[in-house]
Amino acid sequence: MRHIVIVGSGPAGYYTAEAALKLWGDGVRVDIIDRLPVPYGLIRSGVAPDHQSIKGVTRRYEATASSDNVCFVGGVTLGRDATVAELQHLYDAVVLATGAPSDRPTGVPGGDLPGVIGSAAFVGWYNGHPDHAALAPPLIGAGAVIVGAGNVALDVARILAKTGEEFDGSDIAAHALGQLGRGGFETITILARRGPHQIAMTPKEMGELGHLARAAPVVDPADLPPVEDDAALDPGQRKSVALLREFAAQDEAKPVRILFDFYAVPLRIEGEDRVDRVIVERTRLDDVGQVVPTGETYEVPASLVVSCIGYRTPPIDGIPYDAKLGRFANDDGRIGPGLYTVGWARRGPTGTIGTNRPDGFAIIDHIAADLPAEGGKPGRAGLDALLAERGVEAVTFRDWRRIDQAEIAAARAGSPREKLVSIEALLAARA
């Protein structure tokens, strides 16, 4: 019998467990550890609440989790309840699938002012993540500035711009719904340091901005390259830029403007005791596509700044770490003997949810090639003994089903669930 433990119950973790089952069948036992009492990681707390179709992928993970060979072990904190070294002693292979839940720092003066929030925290707030449920971001004032040119920036802009009625059918957290949709900002500015041809925004998310009840996207036609240059783009980019061209051509009078500010980088964030404005520097691209500052600066009023510039994997004591890339140092997923990493913790925050599936299958192939002919480690029995010794009562997948049922039963009309947003409430619901 092979015993594998996966730390992290998000997409990378469950795809890795699925791959282990496909390879070894009844010859493997997989334990999936998570700090939270609930599974699914990014699907639950990172995917936008109004993108319910994407969250349907959890049905696939549930099929894996329901196997007798897979156990969810929630409410277990790595380093406090069990160390990596202890897990290596108990399991044939340890896989770190901890994702990249930490925001990259803004890197500009004033980035620590109240009102400046990283996207991981802001997205976690409106998704009901226990770590961020009490965030209380400022949602009225001079305007909102979003730094970044990816889909997360679009998600944040869309959530800020929606009316309360437009959240029907979503699982947005009640505390966020109570604050959003009450008027908010008249101007939401998206700062992108490059131009329209360099954005990482996909057509679906871009197109959603054109169908908001009270908000309209605004693009300066002068920022758009010659239309014939679009032919060099890949099909997805071409569709996104085509939408930007549509936004530039329209003249919708709506109370909220989502302003795309291309060739713009925040120079500093200013305010007395909270953010009041962002000082922005105009940029240009040189002949090889590198960003070059022009020295031209201007001011954008803001009472909220959301930084959507990327994520980092939190380091773990004793585990090699690549500080520049913000992930575990690894060789194609191998960290050391019996220790592996997968997903964003391996490659950084790139790709889609589905990208984690081949990643997980590749890691299991590595593990299979590396394992000795004979097993013999205790696996879950050893983990149970360790946790019992430390007074840790783990949350099982059966417990999660009770939490799930409680959230569904508490849902407001039209919503799939009402998330419980504190560890205490989640643990109480499993009884």
Same domain, 147 and 295: yes
Whether 253 is covered by a domain: the verdict is: yes
For 335-355, give one letter per residue: b (16+ CB within 10 A) or e. beebbbbbbbbbbbbeeebeb
Tally of structural domains, the chain: 2
- Asked whether residue 36 is assigned to any structural domain, the reply reads yes
Give yes or no for residue 139 having a pLDDT over 90. yes
Residues 69-90 have a mean pLDDT of 97
- Shared domain check, 31 and 112: no
Range of the domain at 292: 102-307
Distance of CA 281 to the CA centre of its chain: 28
187-206 confidence digits (pLDDT tens) = 999 999 999 999 999 999 99
Q: Does the residue 410 lie in any domain? A: no
The pTM for the full model equals 0.94
Examine residue 419 and state whether it is found in any structural domain, yes or no.
no
Which domain-ending residue is among 263, 290, 307? 307
Q: Are 86 and 246 a contacting pair, CB within 8 Å?
A: no
Q: Please give the C-alpha separations between residue 411 and each of 103, 132, 171, 407, in angstroms, as whole numbers.
A: 30, 20, 8, 6
**pLDDT band for position 183 (50/70/90)?**
low
CATH of the domain at 294: 3.50.50.60
Burial of 375 (0-12, 13-18, 19+ CB in 10 A): middle
Residues 147 and 285 in one domain: yes
What is the Cα Rg of the chain in Å?
A: 23
Determine, yes or no, domain membership for 424.
Answer: no
Q: Is residue 361 part of a domain?
A: yes
Q: How far apart are the first and last CA of the chain?
A: 33
Tell me the pairing of strands 339-341 and 93-96.
parallel
Nearest partner of 116 among 267, 270, 258, judged by Cα: 270
238, 150: one domain: yes
Whether 107 and 205 map to the same domain: the answer is yes
pLDDT at 252 (0 to 100): 81
Domain CATH number, residue 49: 3.40.50.720
Judged against a pLDDT cut of 90, whether residue 75 lies above it is answered with yes
Tens digit of pLDDT for each residue in 89-137?
Answer: 999 999 999 999 999 999 999 999 999 999 999 999 999 999 999 998 9
